[in-house]
């Protein structure tokens, strides 16, 4: 069928909306119509070439869609079901999947970079019949797509949240939750700092608040992020373009520092700040993805001497098929404030405007593509 999609053909060059051909779903695949897709900072990194992926391809990984067709062998989904797309789809048999870490699935990693589905092929071709990659097993910047059925998590009928909120579950909610709950394992009374108050950072703040951490220090370059950070549960906010967060954090913790630092920007300067903000025995959780050639200088003398640690995490160690249904129920209560997270809905044609706004640090919360 003919679809419309934003195609990344050259890094750093505005994506054009093209007419593509979408092939039928194959075994254990579903064809979907997109309802909404969030624009994550990692989408910007893909566009810039900081996260290497084969091009041409259609990006977009934070999506809510409705099933239109099912391929052979699909038993848990039917046309009309709303689904959340997962951008890491476990194969179930590689080393990482066998060890219980499906978010690091080696098969998925390979096809993720190539823009292929689990059989090693895409379902998209352009007007010249040439292959176009299907980004992140989702291709959320397209009006329609094909997903693996295991990567399409059904939204129960009793959940009536709009798609622009539901799509957040696929990345920002799950990653923010996982960084605090699965990786840091933060508990009541733990001191925690979050660097970067974008979609993932705000969700990390929210889950830290729900676990009654204190203090919860939000750090961002932009003062404009203060109000939303405080609304999501931060007890303090530091505008790091103006003030050094380290003395502020030391002052709040009796000179000791934080037990946990969640670094959600990928910026080397923020990574260094998060490291120095830790107390003895503290843990820095790295979520933000820097450019592939980026180097951060941290004195590891203090790692053994003060028992400080750095943990990198992908997807917050989320197991999508197991964790997303439960998170969906929590979201449905309204306690996660996803209605406040989505600050603007846009059209597919507005993608270049969004990227420029993110580069200018003008975006507050999450901007979401909403399809007709």
Report residues of the chain scoring pLDDT below 50.
none
pTM of the model: 0.95
165 part of a folded domain? no
127 and 92 part of one domain:
yes
* pLDDT at position 292: 84
Domains held by the chain: number: 2
- Identify which of 17, 25, 7, 2 has the alpha carbon closest to the alpha carbon of residue 132: 7
| Residue 114 sits in the same domain as residue 207 | no
* CA gap 41, 179 in Å, rounded: 17
Residue 322 belongs to some domain of the structure: no
Same domain, 141 and 46: yes
pLDDT of residue 293: 87
For the stretch 213-243, pLDDT in tens is 999 999 999 999 999 999 999 999 999 999 9
- Please report the pLDDT score of residue 194 as a whole number: 99
| Coil vs helix vs strand at 201 | helix
How far, in Å, CA of 280 to CA of 259, rounded?
8
pLDDT for the residue 290: 87
Which CATH number belongs to the domain containing residue 285 in this structure?
3.40.50.720
d(CA 260, CA 185): 9
Domain encompassing residue 296: 173-315
């Amino acid at each position: 069928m003919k679809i419309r999609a934003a195609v990344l053909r050259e890094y750093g060059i505005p994506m054009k909306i093209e007419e593509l051909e979408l092939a039928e779903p194959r075994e254990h695949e579903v064809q979907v119509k997109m309802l909404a897709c969030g624009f994550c900072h990692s989408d910007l990194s893909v566009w810039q070439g900081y996260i290497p992926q084969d091009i041409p391809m259609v990006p977009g990984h934070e999506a809510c869609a409705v099933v239109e067709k099912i391929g052979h062998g699909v038993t848990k989904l039917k046309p009309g079901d709303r689904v959340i797309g997962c951008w890491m789809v476990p194969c179930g048999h590689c080393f990482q999947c066998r060890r219980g870490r499906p978010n690091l699935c080696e098969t998925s990693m390979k096809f993720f970079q190539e823009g292929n589905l689990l059989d090693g092929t895409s379902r998209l071709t352009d007007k010249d019949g040439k292959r176009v990659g299907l980004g992140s097993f989702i291709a959320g910047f397209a009006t329609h797509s094909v997903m693996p059925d295991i990567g399409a998590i059904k939204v129960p009928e009793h959940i009536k949240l709009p798609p622009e909120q539901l799509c957040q579950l696929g990345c920002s909610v799950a990653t923010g939750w996982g960084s605090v709950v699965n990786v840091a394992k933060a508990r009541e009374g733990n001191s925690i700092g979050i660097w970067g108050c974008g979609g993932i950072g705000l969700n990390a703040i929210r889950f830290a608040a729900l676990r009654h951490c204190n203090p919860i220090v939000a750090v961002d370059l932009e003062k404009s992020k203060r109000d939303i950070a405080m609304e999501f549960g931060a007890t303090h906010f530091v505008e790091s373009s103006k003030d050094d967060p380290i003395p502020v954090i030391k002052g709040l913790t009796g000179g000791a520092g934080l037990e946990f630092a969640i670094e959600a920007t990928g910026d080397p300067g923020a990574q260094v700040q998060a490291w120095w903000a830790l107390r003895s025995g503290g843990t820095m959780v790295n979520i933000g993805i820097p450019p592939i050639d980026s180097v951060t200088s941290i004195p590891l003398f203090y790692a053994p001497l003060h028992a400080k640690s750095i943990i990198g995490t992908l997807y917050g160690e989320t197991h999508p098929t197991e964790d997303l249904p439960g998170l969906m129920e929590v979201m449905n209560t309204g306690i996660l404030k996803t209605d406040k997270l989505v600050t603007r809905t846009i059209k597919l044609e507005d993608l270049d405007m969004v990227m420029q706004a993110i580069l200018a640090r003008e975006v507050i919360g999450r901007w979401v593509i909403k399809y007709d």
